[in-house]
Amino acid sequence: MNIASTPIHSVLVANRGEIARRVFRTARAMGMRTVAVFVDADADAPFVREADTAVRLRDSYMNGDAVIAAAKLAGADAIHPGYGFLSENAGFARAATAAGLTWIGPSPDVIESMGDKIAAKRMAVDVGVPTLPSTEDPSADTEVGYPLLVKASAGGGGKGMRIVQSADKLTESVAAAQREALSGFGDHRVFLERYVARSRHVEIQILGDGHGNIVHLGERECSIQRRHQKIIEESPSPIVDPTMRAAMGDAALALARAMGYQSAGTVEFLVDDETREFFFLEVNTRLQVEHPVTEEVTGIDLVREQLRIAAGDSLGYDQSAITGTGHAIEARLYAEDPANDFLPATGTLVAYMPAPDPEVRWDSGVVEGSVIGVDFDPMIAKVVAHGPTRADAAGRLALALERLHLGGVTTNRDFLAATLRTPEFLAGDTTTDFIERVHPGGDAGAPDGMPRAAVIAAMWIQGANRASDEVWGFMPSNWRNGGLPPERISLGYPGIDEPITVAYRSKRDSSFTLDSGESVRVHRWSKSDIDIEINHCRCTAVVTRSNGAIHVQSDSTTVSMLIEPRFVIPGSELPPGGLIAPMPGVVLDVRCAAGDTVEAGQVLVVLEAMKMEHHISAPVDGIVTAVSIAVGEQLENGAPLLTIDDGIGDD
């Protein structure tokens, strides 16, 4: 049935960060005013400054009544929910509509039916879409078989999800999934589903309007994941041929028609890598994080289509008009530590400067100086490359990541670039077990360019010292009438026991000689970079100095080093056998007390960070001698947890 046209003049984005900025960009291009909502933790965020009007929320982005009140206060006539938060909350969509606001998304009834993964699976069965064996009864695991997946009925993003290999692990996994689901989505229900180890996640982008028109925009593959969350996505999939694309597209459209779907949405499938069979997983009734790869390949602005559909416009094209050109790949740049099970990291982005080329798309919610805290998802940016071939897109994206000047926070940048350059990725061998199977990036340690970066850092520091010396700055560095020892600068790097010391002497021609025998000449120095020649190899390196650290852009990454002080002030040390928090978070459970005997691998502490549970286990057998935390306590990264005496060294 046709719907009346309702022009949108001002849109409120009920979200934050990069997705708020991305919606604003299209809304402004369509002549709409933009409204942001924000909490205190985001008061200085870029999206707040970029909105025409920004309304402060007293508590959280999950307070739907407050968001609707903000829309009324700012004079907005539509609400775009982004993704996450309230985007798949049918009650919020109904309340927005009841308040006279245009809801940019599918109808509340569709959101409600598809938000329940169990109900969605039933509908898929009804329209003939293949599904995996599953059960709503956690005790009926034998009907599904092992390995299986415990999944939250509501929500997504890897929360409320556990892989279970055997029956003895089921009870604890179900309980943990239920806690995460209740915390993240307000719904504790879970179900069991057959787990396919060698599989791929392939999803179909759909668009439907209020005039009965429904199309799909091809597929995206989102198989490379950590902690059940996607980190690299691409379109088209390297394994989907025209026949398979048509079959998956037809299945997605059949489901969309059964729902009467309007707006942008995604039908997700699991593909068995061996047989190429596909099975329905779920429907996401919102914009996906990875939507840019579809936009890059098809040339269709999905946010624009959402706004047009919500206003009552017809799509104006049918399936035959949808074409794809080239290949697009997206990498999610996170503040997290791949060497520590991808646990979230916090800090201030003292350096954040994308290189001007190669030209890629940066969808980012931060700028240099932004603080990555514990309140929200730690994504820094989505980086998207489009090229005529998959190899071109992968190479362009890897190079853009490598050339990003980035410092102050531990990130997965090097891991992403290494992944994109592996033979397995380039061959399209991208199943969901990719990370565990391929181990991209290898062992953590100093980058290959560390020695050269240390020389660049030392030369930049000597230049900075001379620039700030108002008395002797005109003199050549280390110039004296008599011979003196060389100047020395020591630089520390995580994982290296001893600092790297660069010793240099100034020559009469203003060049330098290192104790290693290398010759160095500084052609130009500035506060942000240095043009330097080392052993006749010349480059310009971007450099940032902040809080006792120096960040030097090398060929393939930013090398961040601590500037060692000349005089070290002793600090507090962690006692032998001490465990520390691997990330900032809240203590959910403490499963030991002083005097308890524990075994290696035994879970002692459960932390919650980013709405997910993280288990801290005993590294050795021993006796707990002290516990420094309590349930409910908010911890910083590196906070002492407890101490274990393993008995080694005792008489």
What's the number of domains the chain is made of? 5
Do 66 and 184 fall within a single domain? no
Give residue-wise pLDDT tens across range 146-172: 989 998 887 666 678 899 999 999 999
pLDDT at residue number 594: 93
Give me the domain span that covers residue 586.
578-645
CATH number for 187: 3.30.1490.20
pLDDT at residue number 566: 66
CATH number for 20: 3.40.50.20
> 273 near 428, Cβ under 8 Å?
no
> 409 near 335, Cβ under 8 Å?
yes
Q: What's the pTM?
A: 0.83
Is residue 114 one of the residues assigned to a domain? no
What is the rounded distance in angstroms from the CA atom of residue 214 to the CA atom of residue 216? 7
> 358 near 396, Cβ under 8 Å?
yes
What is the rounded distance in angstroms from the CA atom of residue 346 to the CA atom of residue 585? 11
pLDDT at residue number 220: 98
Do 235 and 163 fall within a single domain? no
Do 497 and 593 fall within a single domain? no
Do 264 and 356 fall within a single domain? yes
Is residue 443 one of the residues assigned to a domain? no
Do 515 and 596 fall within a single domain? no
Do 506 and 464 fall within a single domain? yes
Question: Given the DSSP bridges, would you call strands 102-103 and 78-80 parallel, antiparallel or unpaired?
Answer: parallel
What is the rounded distance in angstroms from the CA atom of residue 254 to the CA atom of residue 102? 27
Do 380 and 421 fall within a single domain? yes
CATH number for 532: 3.30.700.30
Do 479 and 546 fall within a single domain? yes
Is residue 597 one of the residues assigned to a domain? yes
Query: Residue 448: what residue type?
Result: D
What is the rounded distance in angstroms from the CA atom of residue 329 to the CA atom of residue 420? 10
pLDDT at residue number 124: 94
What is the rounded distance in angstroms from the CA atom of residue 203 to the CA atom of residue 211? 24
Residues in the chain: 651
CATH number for 610: 2.40.50.100
Do 272 and 319 fall within a single domain? yes
Last residue of a domain, one of 194, 213, 243: 194
User: E strand or H helix at 120, and its extent?
Assistant: helix 117-126
Last residue of a domain, one of 89, 104, 119: 104
Blockwise average pLDDT, block size 10, the chain, 651 residues: 76 98 98 98 96 97 98 98 96 98 97 88 93 88 90 74 91 91 83 89 98 97 93 98 97 97 97 94 96 98 98 97 98 94 90 97 97 90 98 98 96 97 98 95 76 96 86 54 76 82 91 94 96 96 93 94 70 64 83 93 82 77 92 84 79 49
Is residue 280 one of the residues assigned to a domain? yes
Do 506 and 533 fall within a single domain? yes
Q: Which of 574, 573, 578, 575 is nearest to 643 (CA)?
A: 578
Do 222 and 184 fall within a single domain? no
Is residue 119 one of the residues assigned to a domain? no
Is residue 124 one of the residues assigned to a domain? no
Last residue of a domain, one of 438, 472, 490: 438
> 544 near 551, Cβ under 8 Å?
yes
User: E strand or H helix at 606, and its extent?
Assistant: strand 603-609
pLDDT at residue number 92: 98
Residues in CB range of 426: below 8 A, 6 or more apart: 390, 391, 394
Do 274 and 354 fall within a single domain? yes
Is residue 445 one of the residues assigned to a domain? no
Is residue 127 one of the residues assigned to a domain? no
Q: How many helices (H) and strands (E) does the chain have?
A: 16, 39
